[in-house]
Amino acid sequence: MVVRERRLLRESLLAGVLAPAALAAQEPAARAPVPSPVVVEKGLGEALDREATALSALGFNGSVLIAKDGQVILCKGYGLANREKELANGPDTLFDIASLTKQFTAAAILKLEEQEKLETSDLLSKYVGEVPKDKAAITLHHLLTHTSGLPREVPVGASTTERDALVKAALATALRSKPDREFCYANANYELLGAVVEIASGQRFEDYVREQLFRPAGLERTWFLQDAAVDAASAACGYEKRGVFPAQDGWYSWGLRGAGGVLTSVVELERWWRALDGGKVLGKRSLHELFAPELLDYACGWWVREDQELGRRIEHGGVTRGFESSFTCYPERKLLVIVLSNELETCRPTAWTLGRTAAGLEHGDIPTGVALAPEKIEQCAGTFVTGKNAEITVRAVGSRLALQLSPEAVVLLQARREVKTLSRDPELAERIAEIVRRTSSGDVAGLGAMIATDNPTLGRYMVDLWRGWCAERGVYVRHELLGTAREGDHLVGYVRFDFETGSLVLSMSFRDERWTYCVIDAAVPSGPALLAQSENEFLWRDQKNYGSDMCLAIFERDARGRATELTLRTKTNTLQAKRKK
């Protein structure tokens, strides 16, 4: 049995983040919704608008709402909702919010508990009938907190049109762990909760959510995928390499219902959050349960974490078919940041930058670049191989490039030597294994005993990193010490970590058997971060470290403009590679 501390929010949910009249035009209209105004308050609102405009020039496309000290100071759209029709994003533009939908499903379950139609301690079998022996102990609470043991992938999708088919598929899927033992973020947990909402309420999932959640909160422009009432002119199109995806046209079935599928705007999400705080939707006890973090800081449809600089952070996001969402509340800072985007991989960096500015924290200068024709950027994409058979994969994402280094390339860039030439150190392997055990269990105090005294925050930093990796890449699978190398008075171990949907290499430095610092993937950014400085040069500087880390990609092109060679430079080393044949 996992022992956990259920930290309940003792103060008001938002602690004054939003005032009752945060947006002048946000009270429900008698007949038809009134268009929401663009809000750019003088001072901080104007500064945030300038930053959002600069980020839009770098590829961000979407809508932003920021509230501080009880007032909305920025509510505005940037870029185009529909490029073909030249329709701009605005406060009321509808976006597919993907997994941010889970909070509504969690709220529906807790509403049913208030109505005495279920209890979160109920077994799943009470609602879906007989279940296999390995799933007999699964409760609704396990589903809410992603601790049911169900794996990340369950064979359901667009063709799963019947509720019973979802239940059958989920029950037939082998558990990856016993219930209550492990956190594994899996859409199937919330799809099953969607089924429970229907069974317990006797209504369609969508009807119950509209009547019991949307309507009391005053949401008049929040819909579900494939809803005939959606005004296509108000819905954004999602843009990614695979194509263009109008928000309202996405597939919607029991392979998604409960885990995703809501279309809404930044204004509607602010209104929903204000209704939660005002007790219009759920009572105090239910709110406590909604925001009580458990394994890996996941509560019920929300992550609830502690930020070293900003205090408690309540957040969730989602990614799908050209859309990305980010919703973050910092109650102790009285700050709310909502960013919805119809351009992949720009939402979270935008939310991070604007959030720090709104909180009065520095983040370094926003990077600048030059505009290139899309085909010039696409011609840089591909896989490049060094003379040591280390690979660098380059992706074109909008106006930026993203790099992915193989473990061999990370070691070559960081240690200036091949993996096969690294030393073996069984004692260090054992020490690293213990660090992994303590990190995965969130044992910051235990890590402190293994860390050098001149870097006391390293343990908390590593635990936060770990939780982020698990959220983004799935459940931890294994790690392997690739080898060690001496760098001055430090012994550096190069450790490969494998998760369900990705891997990374962490260089861990030790001095006198104490862990001193670490570097992820040779300090090469994991997302689309490199901006064009010229036709052949793309640069990234780390805003979080105020430009101390950098990565420069220099390409050589053939007569047709296609990149054939790549020189990758960081502040410590250089790699040269040729396009893989």
Q: What is the mean pLDDT of each run of 10 residues along the chain (581 residues)?
A: 37 51 41 84 96 89 96 97 94 97 98 98 97 97 97 92 96 95 93 98 98 97 93 92 86 96 98 94 97 94 91 94 95 96 90 94 78 92 92 90 93 91 94 94 91 90 87 87 94 94 92 93 84 93 60 95 96 92 86
- Nearest one of 226, 253, 250, 228 to 237, comparing CA atoms: 250
* Contact predicate 102/73, CB 8 Å: no
* Contact predicate 247/95, CB 8 Å: yes
pLDDT at 471: 78
pLDDT at 577: 96
pLDDT at 24: 36
Give the phi and the psi of residue 374 in degrees, each rounded to 5.
-50, -35
Q: Which bin fits 237, alpha (ψ -120 to 50), beta or left (φ > 0)?
A: beta
User: What distance separates the 2 farthest-apart alpha carbons in the chain?
Assistant: 74
Integer-rounded Cα Rg, in Å, for the chain is 24
Give the phi and the psi of residue 433 in degrees, each rounded to 5.
-60, -40
Residue 245 tokens, joined: 């995806």
The CA-based angle 105-108-109, given to 5 degrees, is 90
The domain ranges of the chain are: 368-581
pLDDT at 9: 41
Residue 340 DSSP code: E
pLDDT at 501: 84
- Nearest one of 251, 421, 270, 252 to 336, comparing CA atoms: 270
Residue 504 tokens, joined: 């990374």
Residue 452 tokens, joined: 């050098």
pLDDT at 202: 97
pLDDT at 32: 62
* Contact predicate 376/351, CB 8 Å: no
H/E stretch holding 516: strand 514-520
pLDDT at 500: 85
H/E stretch holding 83: none
pLDDT at 200: 98
* Contact predicate 224/261, CB 8 Å: yes
Q: How far apart, in whole angstroms, are the C-alpha atoms of residue 448 and residue 444?
A: 6
* Contact predicate 52/354, CB 8 Å: yes
- Nearest one of 298, 331, 274 to 7, comparing CA atoms: 298
* Contact predicate 496/421, CB 8 Å: no
* Contact predicate 326/338, CB 8 Å: yes
